[in-house]
């Protein structure tokens, strides 16, 4: 279990306990957090679960697999700290992770 | 006006198999899709990726699945209307009148929405001013490349479309190619070609830059780009092209009075009809308790929705349940020669 904080475009903050093994995307979808549509269901095929990871967390996350960076080309306003939340699998190590959902995605 | 029994919206696997099920019970249908080919997400998102959960097909690609479905519905001569998006529905007595983006008109007894996660639309620049120039000097696809001759074009993106057009247009235009990182998702050979052209001064490549703003009066005059490190450059440009792939949007479906829940359409599980009589929804776009977004679920939903359409298309007839193995009528419709 890890506490994940999602900052949404309406300037709200949602802190949620997400089970280990779920993805950061699934944590958002199951809790109706706006802005993460995950159209492709976690298949790394759509970039609608794009998030910005809080700077001090970025280097602690598992590195991007092939294809994630390609898909981020398709995301709205990708930045250095962009990730696809469907590729971030929750574990105890991610406790306290904070992500921000891009405004245009909502 | 195209008059037929049923209009299917969406030519993905679910829509295609539903056309088969309509054909088997003797109903005519036509299919509209916003893409330029049949196959839906299977073709657009993963034509080469294997699928392992089609019953009795241990492994196939999205493209193979699409081709086999097209082969399976061949006997029914289903008419396709591609590159068309359904815009308007209107109930006229007991029929539905439908209008598409290309001004095609249909008169049908029932409508089956098999629209996946919506229609594929080009993903656009996030910058607001871009809207002002869209269609005149800023484009997300190219219809007539001759307008670019001897002009300065700034192309954004790192996939195949961006690379291919940069290479092609560099023959007749001054091309700037701008991409947000050093890596490209397009074919390696195209990446090499772009780098060669850049070295030879035949195009200008700017990596780790993204659009900051566009300016101009009626036409674009210049575009400002910003490096990851913060430095900006102003590029004189007559045209701007953005190739960021496709995004899926529900679009006009939202306006048809259907019960929508999180970008999906609510249906019953008896015949997959929506809250509006004569409009059905199947595949990824429909929702009901226990819904799975699997192709095989879409096939089941299509079989039931097809039968649900029967009462609208043939109000005076009764539908009898038959197997294709033994039904003479079904075999005739399939063109089986004995």
Interface of B with A in 44-63 (CB under 8 A): 45-46
Contacts of A56 (CB under 8 A, 6+ apart): none
CA dist B177 → B113, B170, B183, B204, B225 (Å): 39, 10, 13, 6, 11
Distance in Å, alpha carbon of B317 to nearest chain A alpha carbon: 40
Across-strand partners of B113? Answer: B9, B281
Q: Does B228 touch chain A (CB under 8 A)?
A: yes
Chain B residues closer than 8 Å to A43 by CB: 45-46
The CATH superfamily assigned to B124-244 is: FAD/NAD(P)-binding domain (3.50.50.60)
Domain B2-121+247-334, CATH class in plain words: alpha beta
- Alpha-carbon Rg for chain B, nearest whole angstrom, is 24
pLDDT in tens, B284-330: 999 999 999 999 999 999 999 999 999 999 999 999 999 999 999 99
CA dist B11 → B7, B25, B52, B245, B292 (Å): 11, 20, 21, 19, 19
CA dist., res. A68 & res. A87, Å (int): 8
CA dist., res. A35 & res. A29, Å (int): 9
Q: Does B230 touch chain A (CB under 8 A)?
A: no
Contact B42, B65 (CB under 8 A): yes
Q: Give the mean model confidence (pLDDT) for residues B182-208.
A: 94
Instruction: Tell me how far the alpha carbon of residue B87 is from its chain's centroid.
Output: 14
Domains and CATH numbers, chain A: 2-105 (3.10.20.30)
pLDDT at A29 over 90: yes
Tell me what pLDDT residue A70 has: 87
Q: How many of the other CB atoms lie within 10 Å of CB of B63?
A: 15
Instruction: Tell me the average pLDDT of chain B.
Output: 94
Report field, pTM of the whole predicted structure over 0.90: no
- The domain limits of chain B are 2-121+247-334, 124-244
CA dist., res. B257 & res. B269, Å (int): 19
Most A-contacting residue of B49, B53, B245, B292 (CB-CB within 10 A), to test interface: B245
CA dist., res. A64 & res. A74, Å (int): 15
CA dist B47 → B42, B50, B107, B185, B191 (Å): 6, 8, 33, 16, 22
Subunit contact A70:B248, Cβ cutoff 8 A:
no
Contact B39, B31 (CB under 8 A): no
CA dist B255 → A67, B120, B212 (Å): 35, 18, 34
Average the pLDDT over each of A38-47, B256-265, B317-326, B328-337 and give the range with the smallest value: A38-47
pLDDT at B15 over 80: yes
Of A39, A41, A78, nearest to B180 by CB-CB distance is: A78
- Closest by CA to B248, choosing from A98, A74, A14, is A74
């Amino acid at each position: 279990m890890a506490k994940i904080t999602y900052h949404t475009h309406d300037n709200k903050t949602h802190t949620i306990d997400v089970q280990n093994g779920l993805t950061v995307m699934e944590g958002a979808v199951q809790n109706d957090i706006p802005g993460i549509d995950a159209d492709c269901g976690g298949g790394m095929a759509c970039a609608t679960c794009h998030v910005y990871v809080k700077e001090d967390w970025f280097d602690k996350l598992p590195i991007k697999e092939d294809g994630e960076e390609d898909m981020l080309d398709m995301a709205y306003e990708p930045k250095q700290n962009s990730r696809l939340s469907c590729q971030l699998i929750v574990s105890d190590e991610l406790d306290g992770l904070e992500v921000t959902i891009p405004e245009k995605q909502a | 006006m195209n008059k037929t029994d049923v209009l299917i919206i969406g030519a993905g696997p679910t829509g295609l198999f539903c056309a088969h099920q309509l054909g088997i019970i003797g109903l005519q249908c036509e299919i509209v899709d916003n893409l330029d080919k049949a196959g839906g997400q299977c073709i657009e998102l993963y034509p080469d990726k294997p699928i392992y959960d089609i019953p009795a097909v241990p492994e196939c690609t999205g493209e193979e699945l699409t081709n086999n479905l097209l082969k399976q519905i061949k006997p029914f001569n289903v008419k396709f209307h591609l590159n068309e998006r359904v815009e308007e529905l209107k109930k006229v007595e007991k029929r539905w009148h439908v209008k598409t983006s290309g001004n095609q008109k249909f008169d049908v007894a029932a409508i089956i929405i098999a629209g996946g996660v919506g229609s594929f639309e080009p993903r656009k620049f996030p910058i607001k001013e871009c809207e002002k120039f869209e269609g005149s000097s800023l484009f997300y696809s190219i219809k007539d490349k001759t307008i670019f001759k001897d002009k300065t074009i700034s192309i954004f993106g790192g996939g195949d479309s961006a690379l291919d057009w940069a290479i092609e247009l560099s023959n007749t235009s001054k091309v700037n190619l701008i991409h947000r990182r050093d890596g490209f998702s397009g074919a390696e050979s195209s990446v090499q070609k772009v780098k060669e052209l850049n070295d030879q001064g035949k195009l200008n490549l700017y990596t780790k830059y993204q659009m900051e703003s566009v300016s101009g009066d009626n036409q674009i005059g210049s575009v400002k780009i910003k490096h990851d490190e913060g430095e900006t450059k102003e590029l004189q440009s007559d045209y701007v092209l953005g190739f960021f792939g496709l995004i899926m949007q529900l679009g006009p479906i939202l306006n048809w009075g259907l019960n929508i829940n999180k970008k999906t359409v609510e249906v019953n599980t008896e015949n997959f009809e929506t809250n509006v009589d004569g409009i059905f929804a199947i595949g990824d776009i429909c929702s009901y308790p226990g819904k799975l977004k699997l192709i095989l679920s879409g096939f089941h939903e299509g079989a039931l929705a097809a039968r649900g359409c029967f009462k609208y298309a043939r109000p005076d007839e009764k539908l009898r349940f038959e197997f294709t193995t033994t039904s003479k009528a079904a075999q005739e419709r399939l063109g089986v020669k004995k």
